[in-house]
Chain A
Amino acid sequence: MIELKGFTYWYPGREKPALRQVDLRVEEGEFVLLVGSTGCGKTTLMRALNGLVPHFHGGRVSGLAKVAGKDLAVSSTREMASLVGMVFQEPEDQAVTTTVEREIAFGLESMALPPGLISRRVEEMLSGMGLSRLREAFIPNLSGGELQKVILASVMAAHPRLLVLDEPTSQLDPVSAEELLNLVRRLHEETGTTVVMSEHRLERCYHYASRVIYLEEGEILFDGDPVRAALWMSERGKPYLPPVARVFVRAGWEEIPLTVVQGRRLIGKAVDGMGREGCPPHPEDCGGEEVLSARGLSYMYPEGKEALRGIDLSLKAGESMAVLGENGAGKSTLVRCLLGLLSPTRGKVRLLGEEASPDRLARLRGEVGYCPQSVRGLFLRESVWDELLLSLSLRGIEGREAVDMASQHLERLGLEHLAARHPWELSSGEREMAALAVTTVSRPRLVLLDEPTRGLDYLAKFRALALLEEMEREGTALLAVTHDVEFAAAVSKRASILGSGRLVAEGPTRDVLRGSLFFSPQVSRLFRGYDDGISTEEEAVRFLRDLAHKRLVRFPRPFDGEVEGR
């Protein structure tokens, strides 16, 4: 299906190739997972598979690239469209028309298929993918999950032999992501479609893959089955494993499970009736001064939709809270109300001791760090470095002190190499990290993050976590709105689940997450019934090490148990 030999690609005006001497052969019917750090060339490789690289993006290529027998150097993207279907990250930026059925038909019309055939394919996709009820739905009214399913349907309507998915779930809540990936798996199994997918949240898809490819700086460094990939990653300290595998690797176990079921089986054998003390509870009260509070907060949009209903929450200095919930539950609206950017319909919000309002926010001059969901709006200057200096100068920090703070901050986040780069040139994950750096460089007293881990690979996520933990220890209060339950479990002491504008659960993170099937981290599901208190990887690793010592589980190969960058 795919044959690349010595394939090298340079984006226009770049000296360094984005892909370097790539040799790859994928047979029909395989499910290939691409992993690697952000900016390592995954997206470029996927773009090359349907000719977007170089036909759409320009630039230079060398080497051979053939997909479904077609030479990509001479086959246009239009020719490849009927053979290769591609789904991108942002569902909103892919829809072209205004209704679902028209969107599904769009590609088929472009391929000049006869109207009768288009009707048949549209019907097939609507019923096959459970979209019939949305047939005439207006595209802007769809949720992120629904829209991504529509885009997948519009791509699959062309009956492509190869389906390429570039982080298709990065914008979706856990339930929508699960639904979408189940659909992909079904398409793969029932139609034999070859799938190439990149995804940072490996817990969602690692077990579907028949093959894992690891890329670094545009080169393929590993190519093999998932079990061998897990061993290879663990031996080299690479974090690109699903959490269930990673905790076993870090704890030094011989056998590495890839799914929760396999992991539970291993723990079950080892525990074998053995008693176990629970993890110490999280501290519930850090005793700091209250920096943010909402009492009876309700908000109604001008068109009459009630987004928030009677929210009560409080955040003290040095405390952290994660807010989870499905797409459209009101999480971003909550953040905007807490910042005073939206005036509540009812209730009160106090921000750093005073009533929240746009004026109050302006007067705080950077004491509050806010990283919005779409980070593109955060960048105004020509380089990441200038952005950091701007944030510091707005906080009144200039000169030598600002330079020192900015360089230390970039180093802490592993972003030194991005300092001179224009924020708009960065990959989505790099941009997300740069936004986090810009938001936190001036050490604000309160940090509000809206989906901070979109597009972040594991390494970047670990660095972000380490920084936030450090800030928390220094007294910064943190509120993160996220779909990433693993991140929520690791970063916050308290968690809330927002549903239809109400807080349906609120309390210590592990209590909230263990009571949920979908909004719980993979490690919580792994230890359910063995130790319900476990919700973070650190706790899981401690448990497994402890268990291994008690049961004398062998450690056949040396492993320091630490992941690179942590």
Chain B
Amino acid sequence: MLPIYRNKGTLLHSLHASVVLLFMAAVVGGLLLLDHPLYLLFLGVGLLTMMHSADLVGESRPYVRIGATLAVLVFLLNPLFNRNGSHVLLFGPRLPVLGKLDITLEAVLYGALSGGRVFSLVLAFGLAGMLLDPDEVLRLLSPSIWRTSLALGLSVRMYPTLVTEAQRMKEAQMARGLPLETGGKWERFKAYLPLWTSLFRNSLERASTVAESMAARGFGGKKRTVWKKSNYRRIDVLWVTLLAIPLMTAVVVAACSDGYSLFPSPDPLGKGFSPWAGAGISLPFLLVSGLSAWWRGRGRKYLL
């Protein structure tokens, strides 16, 4: 089950949704635009720091698993298709369509770098999903699509319930003696089919109850007021000024100076690396860690 938003009361969970969005956009932008391994390393480590600060290490495991799987795939497949590079590690056979399967050191390194990038991107999106309140994001994106946002918000809220329910159904049927885990794929598919049908019916019934409860509370009229729009607080201003804008600037500066290439042979690590941009990328994450620790202590009252 992929974890979703759950307010854990940490500093990162207390930020305004637009601030989190801006910061994560800077991180994702950096991961997509930059090629220098040190920049990517800083961003990747920064993401792990954020996870720790947001108390999401345990919940992030599924994203780590998915990211790692994709990263390994990219790492393994890239050398097979990438013919560039001057240092051949292994001379392979010539295959139809694919051509000669020579594996180069540069292609292996490029695969590792791309794998790392994919891993970090998965973590970044996972982290954004766990930090952003769906109600807030959808309200923020467009007040005019309120009903759609409500439907999406409900789906997000119901998703864990549905997954738990599917698990419970499977358990109940296993205890009943239904052979769910025996036989080939087709047999298993056939055994699971009534469960999925039942789950679908179940979710429809749940949706109907929610709708009934909403109708009983007056939902469905043309006119509706919005009670409280989230206000920006001191920490949001601080975050944008000290973290988001510097990070975005550093990413832009780094992207402009980044001329690092692995082909035809790897550039030295010093090439295309700006220590200022490097500091600009890594410092915001150190601040995330420091501010979060302060938040857990006495900083909360000063930061809100």
> Which A residues form the contact surface with B (CB < 8 A)?
50, 52, 55-56, 77-78, 81-82, 84-86, 88, 90, 92-99, 101-102, 105-115, 118-119, 122, 136, 138-141, 151, 154-155, 158, 302-304, 336, 339, 341, 358-359, 361-362, 364-366, 368-374, 376-381, 391, 394-395, 424, 438-439, 448
Partner of A77, one of B172, B206, B215, B225: B215
Q: Report the minimum CB–CB distance from A368 to chain B (whole Å).
A: 6
Q: How far is the CA of A368 from the CA of B218 in the complex (A)?
A: 46
A94 contact set on B, CB distance < 8 A: 209-210, 213
Which residues on B sit within 8 Å (CB–CB) of A92? 161
**Stretch from B23-31, B123-131, B193-201 that touches the partner:** B193-201
Given A119-B227, A362-B181, are A82 and B218 neighbors across the interface (CB < 8 Å)? yes
Task: Write the B204-228 contact mask toward A (1 if CB under 8 angstroms, else 0).
Answer: 0110011111111111110111111
Beta-carbon contact of B228 and A115 below 8 Å: yes
Q: Of A88, A98, A154, which is within 8 A of B157 by CB?
A: A98
Residues from chain B with Cβ under 8 Å of A373 in the complex: 168
Are A302's CB and B61's CB within 8 A? yes
Say if the beta carbon of B153 comes within 8 Å of chain A.
yes
A336 touches B171 (CB 8 A): yes
Report the bound CA distance from A424 to B204 in whole Å. 11
Q: Contact: B133 with A358, CB < 8 Å? A: no
Q: A110-B218, A118-B225, A362-B181 are in contact. Are A377 and B150 (CB under 8 A)?
A: no
Report A-chain residues with C-beta under 8 Å of the C-beta of B216. 50, 52, 77, 81, 84-86, 88, 155
Complex interface: chain B residues within 8 A of A99 (CB): 7
Query: Known contacts being A341-B171, A366-B177, is A107 close to B194, with CB within 8 Å?
Result: no
Contacts of A359 in B (CB 8 A): 181
Complex Cα distance A362/B180, Å?
A: 8
> Which B residues are CB-close (under 8 A) to A113?
225
User: How far does the alpha carbon of A86 sit from the alpha carbon of B178 in the complex, in Å?
Assistant: 40
Q: Can you list 6 residue pairs at the A/B interface with Cβ under 8 Å? A: A98-B133, A136-B7, A362-B182, A369-B176, A373-B168, A378-B173
**Which A residues touch B6, using CB under 8 A?**
138, 140-141
Check B177–A111 contact: CB distance below 8 A: no
Does B217 contact A158, Cβ atoms closer than 8 Å?
yes
Within 8 A of A (CB), among B213-263: 213-221, 223-228
Quote the shortest CB–CB distance from A496 to chain B (angstroms).
21
Contacts of A110 in B (CB 8 A): 214, 217-221, 224
- A391 close to B176 (CB less than 8 A): yes
B175 touches A361 (CB 8 A): yes
User: B297 on the interface (CB 8 Å rule)?
Assistant: no
- Those of B272-304 within 8 Å (CB) of chain A: none
Contacts of A361 in B (CB 8 A): 174-175
Max chain A C-beta neighbours (<10 A), residue from B171, B175, B226: B175
Contacts of B135 in A (CB 8 A): 97-98, 102
B7 in contact with A364 (CB, 8 Å):
no
Find the B residue at minimum CB distance from A139: B157
Cross-interface CB contact of A158 among B7, B61, B133, B218, cutoff 8 Å: B218
| Least CB distance, A81 to chain B, in whole angstroms | 3
A392 to B157, CA, bound (A): 37
A56 CA / B215 CA spacing, docked (Å):
8
Given contacts A52-B212, A93-B209, A303-B59, contact A362 B7 (CB under 8 A): no
| CB of A138, distance to nearest CB on chain B (Å) | 4
B-side interface size class: 35 or more
Q: How far is the CB of B283 from chain A (nearest CB, A)?
A: 31
Contacts A93-B206, A93-B210, A98-B133 given; indicate if A339 touches B175 (C-beta within 8 A): yes
B116 interface residue, CB < 8 Å from A? no
With a cutoff of 8 Å between Cβ atoms, the chain B residues found around residue A302 in the complex are 58, 61
Tell me if B201 and A377 are in contact (CB < 8 A). Answer: no
Distance A370 CA – B169 CA, assembled complex (angstroms) = 11
What is the distance, in angstroms, from B57's C-beta to the closest C-beta of chain A? 9
A151 and B6 alpha carbons, distance in the complex (Å) = 20
Bound state CA distance, A93 and B203, in angstroms? 11
Contact assessment for B150 and A96 in the assembled complex, using a CB-CB cutoff below 8 Å? yes
B217 touches A379 (CB 8 A): no
Q: Which residues of B contact A78 (CB under 8 A)?
A: 215, 218-221
Q: What residues of A have a CB within 8 angstroms of the CB of B213 in the complex?
A: 86, 88, 93-94, 96, 151
Apart from the given pairs A141-B7, A374-B168, 7 other A-B contacts in the complex at a CB distance below 8 Å: A110-B224, A113-B225, A115-B225, A138-B7, A362-B177, A376-B165, A378-B173
Residues of A within 8 A of B5 (CB): 98
Chain B minimum-CB-distance residue to A370? B175
A362 to B214, CA, bound (A): 41
Q: Check A155 against B217 for contact (C-beta < 8 Å).
A: yes
Query: Are B217 and A380 touching (Cβ within 8 A)?
Result: no
In the complex, what distance in Å separates the CA atom of A50 from the CA atom of B225? 22
Q: Which residue of A lies closest to B180 (CB)?
A: A362
- Counting chain A CB atoms within 10 Å of each CB, the highest count among B150, B160, B220, B227 belongs to B227
In the complex where A93-B210, A115-B225 touch, is A362 in contact with B217 (Cβ < 8 A)?
A: no
- Least Cβ–Cβ distance between B242 and chain A, in angstroms: 25
Q: Which residues of A contact B66 (CB under 8 A)?
A: none
Residue of chain A at shortest CB distance from B179: A362
Residues A52 and B157 in contact, CB atoms below 8 Å apart = no
Taking CB atoms, residues of chain B closer than 8 Å to A136 are: 7
Q: Is the CB of A88 within 8 A of B212?
A: yes
CA distance in complex: A109, B226 (Å):
6
Q: A96-B210, A377-B165 are in contact. Are A114 and B174 (CB under 8 A)?
A: no
B177 touches A96 (CB 8 A): no
Q: Closest 6 CB pairs between A and B?
A: A377-B169, A81-B218, A107-B217, A370-B175, A394-B177, A366-B177
- Residue of A82, A115, A122 with most chain B CB atoms under a 10 A cut-off: A115
List residues of chain B with CB within 8 A of the CB of A56: 211-212, 215
B13 smallest CB distance to A (angstroms): 9
A112 touches B221 (CB 8 A): yes
For residue B154, CB closer than 8 A to chain A, the reply is yes
Complex formed: what's the CA distance from A343 to B6 in Å?
Answer: 26
Q: List A contacts of B58 (CB < 8 A).
A: 302-304
Q: How far is the CA of A85 from the CA of B219 in the complex (A)?
A: 13
